[in-house]
A and B are shown apart, each in its own frame.
Chain A
Amino acid sequence: MQPPPSPDVTSPAKTPLFHSSTQYKNWRFSTEQLRVTRTALNEAAIAAIRNTFESDSPGSSSDVHFLDAHEELLLVKLYITKISQLCGHFRFPEEVEATGITYLKRFYLKNTVMDWHPKNVMLTALFLATKTTNHPISLESYTSNIPRTRPSDVLDLEFLVAQSLAFEFAVWHAHRALWGLWLDIQELSQAPPHEELERVYDTALQHIRTSRLTDVELIYPPSQIALACLTLAHPEIAASWARSKNAEAALEAIESIKRTITRDGDIPSVDVVREIDRRLKICKNPEKVVGSKAYLAKKAKEDSESELKRMRKADNVRKAVEQGDPFGEELAREANLDDDD
């Protein structure tokens, strides 16, 4: 017997929509791609920072112990757990929490922690997630409820975070897919009693929360992650769901998801991360530390470049007007209109 159709993520009606999403197109990777990307980012950052150190004072980078890609990842992982804590504190819905975590992970596929420390990136990613999931709160009440945090900590980074996400804000989550599965399994002919099903659902949801500490959402579609978590919670129910959908093959595909969640789903040890963070203080990019010598030098260079550009633009307009170019006036008007970029 066919189960009744449900508005679930795994149902055929909705799957094609996921396939046209930015998540499907731009934010899914193989394990190997993730490794290569992170290593490349890490190595490029080390080279650039070493260079900055050396040009400031030659020889100064030789005893700096830079972070490797794995250590960066551990630090990010710790800040994923901070998002969950903050969401508990603010009583944000699951959607906000999951989205903030996704943003944080995606950000560090484009940036390294040596350039941007995850603390403020985490705060910004979460704040942005409140908006993109339509649960906005004022920045003032957000930061005033977080110790040692000012609105500028978030405002300064919001654009960079949005840009790193390529302004692709929509995220498909495993917990929503699990909701779809939950509606389905209640319709199964040999479904266990409701209270037991509820326990299964809660356990599966816990596995989904654990999965957020891992890379699975960057590798697998949400429907498969949800099924894997249901299997971890109750293999028989997951199997009969798969049978009812003629999707037994799906059960094989989720083995590696289960393995990854079990292997990588632990919270990193505070001591290890504290040591990483201590080293980060020394090896972070001085050009990104507001007020530092290297930061000021970089900014001065950029400012003089854009000043030069402005002057050239103004000069062209002036020349054009002087030479009686009929478009000179119009050009001048447009240049004014556009003074800000």
Chain B
Amino acid sequence: MDAVERANADRQKKWVKDQKVGEGTYAVVYRGRELATGRKIAIKKIKVGQFKDGLDMSAVREVKYLRELHHPNVIELLDVFSSKTNLNLVLEFLDTDLEMIIKDRSLVFLPADIKSWMAMMFRGLEFCHRNFILHRDLKPNNLLIASDGQLKIADFGLARDAADPGYKMTCQVITRWYRPPELLFGCRYYSTAVDIWSVGCIFAELMLRTPYLPGESDMDQLKTIFRALGTPTEEEWPGHTKLPDYVSIGQFPRTPLRDLFTAATADTLNLLSKCIVYEPRKRISAKDALNHPYFFALPYPTHPSKLPKTIAQTTAAASRPLDEVDGNVDLNSGAGPGATAAGTAPPKKLKRKLSGHDTSRNIARKLDFTAA
């Protein structure tokens, strides 16, 4: 065996793959663990053989950037190894994402919670931008949440180096609802400001609990933006009418943010408005955002561990291994003795969370069956 193959085999042996947890466009994701420590990890398996141009660009980008970036608010790539024709990325395991949290209607967000998520988002993004990396696909679904509540920027499949001024880039990036107007107008010379617009949209979404600018097509996206923020004037955004795909969409008046975000403080709206400034060069930078009064005013950001959690998150933290879940007894009380633990009633919280979690119940039944 070659030294390179041997090194790969050694790396591979360090990680155990357990079960499939998700599937993306170009990869299957498994839950797994580190053999030596039992630490929970995720393995993202990318099929390589299926592309006629070899290694897929998204995989190349993701590996390239995650190999270099180490920050508490950027997902950690722990290892890379290959198995036959697959590329395996070993990532820290993250329980949920911001989209699921936003959609979970049982959760209530306090302004301090939103501030905490925004601070983590800006810290991670400031680090990317400081490294001259544009993410180009920020959206709630790509902001993953660790069991300790830390928010992590993930999915670097569209990322690229911030180009030298004057270098053309594709404008076909960023999921539509989070895409800034300069890209919708076909601008090919853009900057870190594109990510800031996305962050602004996410900020608004955290307050509204529904996407802020949900356009139905690229054209409708511009209309949706202008309806919300008013049609930009030449003064507000010099030169925008000269952009390659500029079209006149109609005149919409500017309505104050205050009308929609009725409960927000002045600092909050000030920072939000600076993220969604039309003129990209006037949009706030991640670094300046972190120094914005919003982050220094009361209420202070919630500690990450105290942030609202989804049901999946709490069970994930509490359920495995089975015998550690003292609330289990109650769940199976109808089905016979099963796994009997202490006779104390389970904490109410845990009970609510465990019900509706099918897998843990299935496993429990199977255990019953063998015992019988």
Contact = CB atoms under 8 A, between A and B. Distances in A.
Nearest to B86: A341
A289 B4 CA distance: 18
Contacts of B83: 341
B63 A167 contact: yes
Interface stretch (B53-61, B109-117, B223-231): B53-61
A340 B50 CA distance: 13
A110 interface: yes
A159 B48 contact: yes
A340 B84 contact: yes
A47 interface: no
Interface in B61-80: 61, 63-65, 67-68, 70, 80
Interface stretch (B320-328, B330-338, B364-372): B364-372
B82 interface: yes
Contacts of A132: 60, 64
Interface residues of A, number: 39
Contact of A341 (B57, B80, B84, B370): B84
A327 B366 contact: yes
Contacts of B61: 134
A169 B2 contact: no
Nearest to A23: B68
Contact of B2 (A115, A151, A338): A115
Nearest to A157: B54
A155 B54 contact: yes
A140 to B, nearest CB: 8
B265 interface: no
Interface in B1-58: 2-5, 8, 17, 19-20, 48, 52-55, 57
Contact of B55 (A138, A158, A340): A158
B55 A136 contact: no
A109 to B, nearest CB: 10
A159 B64 contact: no
Contacts of B52: 138-140, 151
Nearest to A44: B3
A159 B82 contact: yes
Nearest to B60: A131
B85 interface: yes
A136 B57 CA distance: 8
Nearest to A7: B132
Contacts of B367: 326
Interface stretch (A14-22, A58-66, A265-273): A14-22
Contact of A139 (B54, B57, B84): B54
Contacts of A162: 55, 87
Contact of A158 (B5, B54, B80, B130): B54
B353 interface: no
A43 interface: no
Contacts of A337: 20
Contact of A164 (B4, B54, B68, B161): B4
Given A167-B80, A326-B367, A340-B85, A22 B68 contact: yes
A338 B161 CA distance: 35
A170 B68 contact: yes
A163 interface: yes
B26 to A, nearest CB: 14
A166 B17 CA distance: 21
A139 B54 CA distance: 8
A182 interface: no
B67 A22 contact: yes
Contacts of B3: 41, 44, 110-111
B54 A127 contact: yes
Which of the listed residues B2, B48, B131 has the most CB atoms from chain A within 10 Å of its own CB?
B2
Interface string A152-176: 0011001110111011111000000
Contact of A169 (B8, B60, B160): B60
Interface of A: 17, 20-22, 41, 44, 110-111, 115, 127-128, 131-132, 134, 136, 138-140, 151, 154-155, 158-160, 162-164, 166-170, 326-327, 334, 337-338, 340-341
7 contacts: A131-B54, A139-B52, A139-B53, A159-B85, A167-B63, A169-B64, A340-B85
